[in-house]
Structure 1
Amino acid sequence: MRVTVVGAGAIGGFLACKLFAAGHEVSVVARGATLEAIREQGLQLHSGEDVLIARLHATSNPEELGAQDLVIFAVKAPALAAAVTHAKALVGPDTVVVPAINGLPWWYFLQTTQALAGLRLEAVDPGGVIEQGIPARAVIGCVVFPSCAVLSPGVIKHMSGNRLVFGEPAGGLSARAETLAKAFHDAGFDAHADENVREQIWLKLLGNACFNPVSLLVGGTTDELIDDPFVHAVCVEMMDEVLELGRRLGLSPEIDPTQRIAITRKLGKVKTSMLQDVEGQRPVEIEAILGALVGVADRVGAPLPRTRTVYALARMRAKLLGLLPN
């Protein structure tokens, strides 16, 4: 496949390196120090004792690449609208677009027939810029479970996890989702196509909605949050609230807070993406992860008292740090 990854950060760099090593024609759209580093020394992936150096094509100008078979958007939520606008030349009539992003994606309610069908998530896509820039027919939903970090520009550290889930936004299995999952499986991922990718996104959100903002507030890694009995209790209460909201939307992942926390605990000492952004002085994804969730709760009359409290505090913390996106 001709693949372009927009955003060569932690997850984008991880995906790009593995696909390149599997023999795909991979390019990345990057800028600044990251672009310079990739051009000079390749994109580097450290995983355990292994180091993979991908001498792939890197550019800041998507127009020079033309339409691709697969475009992966792996930028943070606050930067997605600008990235989509910048990368329009990559998307042709047969291009598959995979948003490898955190939180609720802009497309989440647009093609479903379940509760809130057709709802546009203004917190995620203000003004509908992303929806206008990416044809709905092109999108394959994606859930990225691995944890990665940027050691330095163009140098990625894979810390844990290898699971990817793909699926049609409208639900059901499709040949293109299964073909995509097979390509990633052949590249070394634990990749699967799922007939209900929206529920898989909710499953990941169950962890992100508590661990990310709480880590922003206290500065702790996930194992530290879980091992503290008081913070652990807060996470359980938040997960219970998010699960109840999911049930109101027809989403019922077969998991409880204890099981979900155990999954994260097995990953070890993980620094959440939101905490990494705080430490790197980058805008945080508070709206995509919690703001959109609270907005959905308002629509269906779900109280979410603990989640709303953490959202208010984390949002204010981000604002005082100058990291709340405009």
Structure 2
Amino acid sequence: MRIGVAGAGAIGGFLAARLALAGNDVGVLARGATLRALDEHGIRLESGGTRSVARVRASDDPQRLGPQDLLILAVKSPSLPGLADRLGPMIGPDTLVLPALNGVPWWFFQSGGGPLAGHRLRAVDPDGRLERAIPADRILGFVVFPSSSCPEPGVVVHASGSRLVVGEPGGGPSLRAQRAADCLAGAGFDASASPDIRRVVWEKLLGNACFNPVSLLTGSHTDLLIDDERVNRLFQAMMRELLAMGDALGLPLAIEPPARLAVTRKLGHIKTSMLQDVEAGRAVELDSILGAAVEIAQELGVPAPLLDTVYALARVRAERLGLYAPPLTPTP
């Protein structure tokens, strides 16, 4: 299968490497030091105690890579609007677009019903650029659970997990979602197609919206945060706010916050993606991971004072570090 991956960082590089090693024709859209590393060495992957090298076609020109069967968007959410207008040459008449994004994606309310049907998330797509650039009927929801890091360009270290979930944004069974899941499973991932992908997005958000911004504020790994009694209580309360929002959206989760925290605690000394970004001097995904949740709470009229407070503090900290700019105000 011809698979394009936009972005070759911790997640994009991991997905691209595994898919290429499984025999797929993988083209990676990259630039700068990452592009040079891929051209010279391929993607060097460390996973499960083994090292592999995956050869991919790499370019900074979407025209050279051409139309894909699957196009995985694995850039950080602050970079996606600037990239979206360039993706046209990689999207053919049958291309399926899989956005591998942290937090709440821009397509979340484009399809399906619910109280916020049709609402454009200003936190992630303030001027509608993503909505215009990427046809809604090409999108498959895509939730990525593995943890990995990119210590240097072209090098990916896989820490844990292989679960990937795809599904139609509007819900329901789908042959094309199943085909995409089968392709991913063929590369060794624990991949499945879900008839309710928005619920899976909310499931992942339950951890991301807590661990990431608090790690930004404290500089701490997840085990140290969870083991702190006061922070543990904060996480549980933040999760209860998210669960209440999920209920209001028609996305109930049968998850108890202490049990959810225990799952992450078992993973050990984990550095969140946001803390990795801070240490590398990269823009943080604060709006997709937490700002979108705060916006949704406001639209629903669901109280979320702790999420709002943590978001406000994290914004100030990230701005002081030069790693965050508020979303553009949409033009009337």
Deviation of 1:119 after TM superposition, in Å, equals 0.4
**Alpha-carbon shift at residue 291 of structure 1 (Å):** 0.9
For 1:93, what is the secondary structure of its paired residue? strand
In structure 2, distance between residues paired with 1:151 and 1:296: 34
* Alpha-carbon distance in 2 for matches of 1:218, 1:202: 24
Equivalence for 2:307? 307
Structure 1 position 142, deviation (Å): 0.7
Q: Does the CA contact (< 8 Å) of 1:171 and 1:196 recur in 2?
A: yes
Give unmatched runs, 5+ long, in structure 1: none
Deviation at 1:245, TM superposition (A): 1.0
- Aligned positions of 1:257-268 closer than 5 A: 257-268=257-268
* SS class of match (1:255): coil
Partner of 2:13: 13
Per-residue CA distance 1:252-297 (angstroms, 9 max, x = gap)? 1221112211221222211101101111111111111111111111
Q: Secondary structure at the match of 1:122?
A: coil
Letter in 2 for 1:311: Y
Post-superposition Cα deviations, 1:181-218, rounded to whole Å, max 9, x if no partner, equal 11111110111101100000000000000000000000
- Show structure 1 runs of 4+ deviating over 6 A: none
Tell me if 1:226 matches 2:222: no
Q: CA deviation at 1:325?
A: 2.9
Tell me which amino acid in the other structure corresponds to 2:293. L
CA contact (8 A) 1:206 1:242 kept: yes
Q: Which secondary structure state, in structure 1, belongs to the residue aligned with residue 127 of structure 2?
A: helix
1:322 paired residue number: 322
Match of 1:272 in 2: 272
Give the aligned residue type for 2:209.
Answer: A
Q: Does 1:42 align with 2:49?
A: no
Q: What is residue 91 of structure 1 aligned with on the other side?
A: 91
Please state whether the residue corresponding to 1:158 is helix, strand or coil.
strand
Tell me, what secondary structure is at the counterpart of 1:86? coil
Provide the rounded CA distance (Å) in 2 between the counterparts of 1:235 and 1:310. Answer: 11
* Distance (whole Å) between structure 1 residues aligned to residue 122 and residue 62 of structure 2: 27
Q: Output the amino acid matched with 1:202.
A: W
1:242 match: secondary structure: helix
Q: Equivalent residue for 1:140?
A: 140
Report the Cα distance in structure 1 between the residues aligned to 2:263 and 2:76, rounded to whole angstroms: 23
> What is the Cα deviation at residue 48 of structure 1?
2.9
- Residues 17-36 of structure 1 correspond to what in structure 2 (within 5 A)? 17-36=17-36
Structural RMSD (CA): 0.9
1:45-101 Cα offsets, whole Å, 9 max, x none, are: 111321110111110001012111010000111001112212211001110000000
Q: Paired residue for 2:55?
A: 55
Tell me by how many angstroms 1:37 deviates. 0.7
Percent pairwise identity: 54
User: 2: CA distance between counterparts of 1:67 and 1:186?
Assistant: 21
Match of residue 154 from structure 2 = 154
TM-score, normalising length: structure 1 = 0.98
The separation in 2 between residues aligned to 1:99 and 1:231, in whole angstroms, is 31
For the residues of structure 2 that align with 1:29 and 1:256, how far apart are their CA atoms? 40
- State the one-letter code of the partner of 1:264: T
The CA distance in 1 between the partners of 2:56 and 2:250, in whole Å, is: 43
Distance 2:263 2:186 in 1: 24
Q: How many residues align?
A: 326
Deviations 1:156-189 (A, max 9, x none): 0000111001100000010010111111111101
Provide, for residues 85-140 of structure 1, a one-character-per-residue CA deviation record: whole Å limited to 9, x for no partner.
12211001110000000011001011021120000011101211111111101000
In 1, distance between residues paired with 2:277 and 2:155?
Answer: 16
